Structure 1
Amino acid sequence: MRGESVNIFKIEEHHEAFIIWCYLIKRKSIPEKDNILFHVDHHADMGCPVLDRSVNDILLNNIEDIKSFTYSNLRISDFIIPAIYQNFFNEFYWLQRIYSGKNTAKDHYVKSNKREGKVFVDLVDDSAWKRFTPDDGRVLYKNTQLNPENVISIKKEVILDIDLDYFSSHRARLTENRLEITEKEFKNIKENKYHFLNNEYKYKLISENKRFFVKFYHGLESEEKAHLTSKTEIEKRVNRFFDYIKDNNISFSNVILCRSRFSNYTPANQWNFIEDLLTKRFKKINNSDILTIEDIK
């Protein structure tokens, strides 16, 4: 379970993990390919992005350019698939608090249209779609879903990738973001029933003191206050998690802690409490160096 020391990387949103992986590879802290990602999260984050810029040969760029690529191309729901396509990982474990299935590994593959590294598919290897995606350029990996009751055996060291929302997540309820627009666009949205917002988004138009806004909604339309996980329950979940990695002899030297506070997946009044709990526990296990995304240069 324990190495001589552990690097703890604290990031704000989860797509920044892509920057950390590139940083570790470029520094030769981890191999350039065939690593194991152990993803501890309320969500899979395994969406297939459509990129404006190719991920091919991303490691030839400097860190600032990789940051630019990440912030302009990747989202918090789709940053893992491009990394698998680049062979950073050939095994993916997703630990969920609530998962009723068995921990059977499935053979998946990722493929990019014309090998361009922009448009991706992620399919089970025996899928009926296989005949539509020729073998050339296919990147194989194993995908395993877990819950804290599943016993596993991982022989190699993993990259431990933790979203704080695993311990407390409340974005199943309605959340909102507001964007200010011009009066002209306000009227355009209101009058044009085929405006792209009307086709794809859940929103509300608001006019306040001669200023105009679009309020975007995410989640269920409910005015109920989201239920927050108690601190006692969070502590139990943290303890259970550390028991799990100990009981299953999971070895690691690099840990990513994703706050998810700006996206509101981790409650704003709880992320700091959860992060402190995890940091203290990791420090008890190993000597720990802590870096933030600003330290990655």
Structure 2
Amino acid sequence: MRKPPLSAGYWRFSPYCTRLTPVGGSLARLRAWLERSSAGRVPGAAAAQKASEGSKVPGQGIYVAQRSKQYRAGNCRLGMLRPLPAAVQDFMNITVFDEHHEVFLFWEESIASGKLHKGSTLLHVDGHADLAAPWVQDSVYSPNVRRFVRTQLNIGNFILPAVLRGIFNQVIFLDRARAPRKKEKHNIGTLYGSGRWINMDFPKDRLSASLYPDAKEWQYTIIGDASDIKAQDFTLDIDLDYFYGYYSPRPQYEICLSDRQLKHVKKMFLSDDKYKISLNKFAVEKRTLRAKTLRGLEDVICNSSREWIECAIKYFTDSLKVKPASASICRSVKSGYTPAKHAQYAEETLIKYLKGHKGMDYSDIVSAFEVYPFITRVGDIIYNPLLNKKMELERDNRFIWDGIARGKNLRQIFKDMFSRCEGERKSLEKEVLKFIFYLKGNFFIK
């Protein structure tokens, strides 16, 4: 059995044209070797794995697929790759995706190749539950998975179709808010088994059995820490926005106060001794409070976003006590949930910690750009700032903006606030002051 002509690197197949993209080695040698093989299949897969494992360059492997004609003609099952040789499949465990609903194809391909068993457990590590029920025009059970994902799914509704198709019967959601452990059982099915009208939590009776012949029972668990995982065989699905809890995909609109408006507001408050705010005193209190909070914590707190992300990733991987069967990583940059300037760093850091943690030997990283080139991202326009101009504001200022939305002027809003919160007047004064000096906007005081 011939050994593949690999030197210091690995090869990937380009689905857009009939060529091989070299990362290392000789293109002519590998092309000649593939031509001598049967229809592009690799008889020396075991030797290729051994050769790649013996290389000194970390993260090397071999990834050889069928020819690109199968992409164009749609002859592959699910419109994707044919199953790779078993020796190659064993060490391809992490797949990186751009948007989260694209992982649905990865799950289906894993089922088809035997790497994932139906009815398994999903560990969903995400900043959002992604449990929206899709309003689909095509059936969930459609054999053309490629078209179904491209036209019917988006970044928030891909888990329930996976449950309906039997890929998972248990979903574990790692909540970023450290919620207490919660376990629920739900029913799910589609009206008349059509795969189009999805319904949940209907009663178990004869009528429901006739209306939802494809009904399934599945378990949904919410945990606050990865150490609570008890399942031995599960699929790990990570969205990088889990580690960016402070980041908002929508634009932060600021309110601008002119000098005349600010003078009017100061006069309104400082004229009454009952509600008088001492600006200097508040400034001193704020500076003192910050000094007391941060004193002695220089070695604990992080001074940059990258340090904070690495701390969060390290805590997650250290808490994960059980090795997953496979893992997928979603970038969520296009949809805006992960800041683009830190996405690559977060991805590389997560892969680094997953590789060296608890014997998780991930020898190769497969990019979804090469495996699934046909994906069009349906969820891109969901959070387009041109379409959604809803202001994202702090929770402390929500009462003020609710009043503005109802047509009240600032004087009425502040009077209502003080009348409702008389017992907390001092803390409320600070919030009003923060609103005046930190938020800026284009409105006039009547």
Query: Which protein has greater RCO, CA pairs closer than 8 Å, 6+ apart?
Result: 1
Contact 1:14 1:258 survives alignment (8 Å)? yes
SS at match of 1:107: strand
Evaluate the alpha carbon distance shift between residue 26 and residue 230 of structure 1 in structure 2; reply closer, same or farther with a 3 A threshold: same
User: What's the CA shift for 1:57?
Assistant: 4.7
Distance 1:68 1:245, change over 3 A: same
Instruction: Say which of 130, 143, 162 aligns to 1:45.
Output: 130
Q: Distance in 1 between matches of 2:205 and 2:153?
A: 28
Aligned to 2:70: none
Aligned residue identity for 2:312: R
- Alignment counterpart, residue 236 of structure 2, candidates 139, 151, 160: 160
Any idea what the Cα deviations from partners look like across 1:143-175, whole Å, max 9, x if unmatched? Answer: 0011127634213x1110000000114554634
State the alpha-carbon separation in 1 of the partners of residues 125 and 336 from structure 2.
Answer: 17
The answer to whether the Cα contact below 8 Å between 1:12 and 1:259 also exists between their aligned partners in 2 is yes
* Coordinate RMSD, CA, aligned: 2.4
Q: Which string of whole-angstrom CA distances, capped at 9 and with x for unpartnered residues, describes residues 52-81 of structure 1? A: 1112153xx4xxxx2222011101000010
Match runs of 1:239-254 below 5 Å = 239-246=314-321, 250-254=322-326
Note closer, same or farther for the CA distance 1:296–1:238 as it changes in structure 2 (3 Å cut): same
Change (3 A) 1:122 1:171: farther
Deviations 1:72-94 (A, max 9, x none): 11010000101101111001000
- CA distance in structure 1 between the partners assigned to 2:178 and 2:194 by the alignment: 35
Q: Which structure is higher in helix share?
A: 2
Judging changes above 3 Å, is the alpha-carbon distance between structure 1 residues 133 and 70 closer, same or farther for their aligned structure 2 residues? farther
What amino acid sits opposite 1:9 in the alignment? T
Q: Distance in 1 between matches of 2:235 and 2:208?
A: 31
Q: Which has the larger radius of gyration?
A: 2
Distance (whole Å) between structure 2 residues aligned to residue 245 and residue 277 of structure 1: 16
| Matching of residues 22-101 of structure 1 within 5 Å | 22-31=108-117, 33-58=118-143, 61=144, 66-101=145-180
Fraction of identical pairs, as percent: 29
Whole-angstrom CA distance in 2 between matches of 1:237 and 1:48: 30
Unaligned runs of 5+ in 2: 1-89, 256-303, 373-446
One-letter code of the match for 1:223?
Answer: E
Classify 1:168/1:261 alpha carbon distance in 2 versus 1 (closer, same or farther; 3 Å).
same
Residues 161 and 173 (structure 1), Cα distance of their counterparts in 2 relative to 1, 3 Å cut: closer
- Residues in 2 aligned to 1:77 and 1:240: alpha-carbon distance in whole angstroms: 26
| Residues 104-162 of structure 1: CA deviation (Å, up to 9, x unaligned) | 32111211122111121233xxx7x667971332111110011127634213x111000
Kept in 2, the 8 Å contact 1:170–1:267? The answer is no
Other structure's SS at 1:91 match: strand
Give 4+ residue runs of structure 1 displaced > 2 Å after superposition: 129-133, 149-152, 169-175, 221-224, 294-297
In the alignment, is residue 259 of structure 1 matched against residue 331 of structure 2?
yes
Q: Given that residues 170 and 265 in structure 1 are in contact (C-alpha distance below 8 angstroms), is that contact kept between their aligned partners in structure 2?
A: no
Q: Does 1:137 align with 2:214?
A: yes
1:133/1:48 CA distance change after superposition, 3 Å: farther
Picking from 349, 358, 370, the partner of 1:277 is 349
Q: Does structure 2 retain, via aligned residues, the 8 Å contact 1:169–1:267?
A: no
CA distance in 2, matches of 1:288, 1:110: 38
Q: Unaligned regions of 5+ residues in structure 1, if any?
A: 176-220
Q: Which amino acid aligns with 1:237?
A: A
Give the direction of change, closer, same or farther, for the CA distance of 1:93–1:6 in structure 2 (3 Å limit).
farther
Instruction: Provide the rounded CA distance (Å) in 2 between the counterparts of 1:19 and 1:75.
Output: 13
How far off is 1:294 after superposition? 3.1
Task: Trace 1:101-116 onto structure 2 (pairs within 5 A).
Answer: 101=180, 103-116=181-194
TM-score, normalised to structure 1, is 0.71
> Residue 282 and residue 35 in structure 1: after superposition, are their counterparts in 2 closer, same or farther (change >3 A)?
same
Q: 1:274: how far off?
A: 0.6
Q: How many residues align?
A: 230
- Mapped to 2, the partners of 1:269 and 1:50 lie a distance apart of 34
CA contact (8 A) 1:173 1:222 kept: no
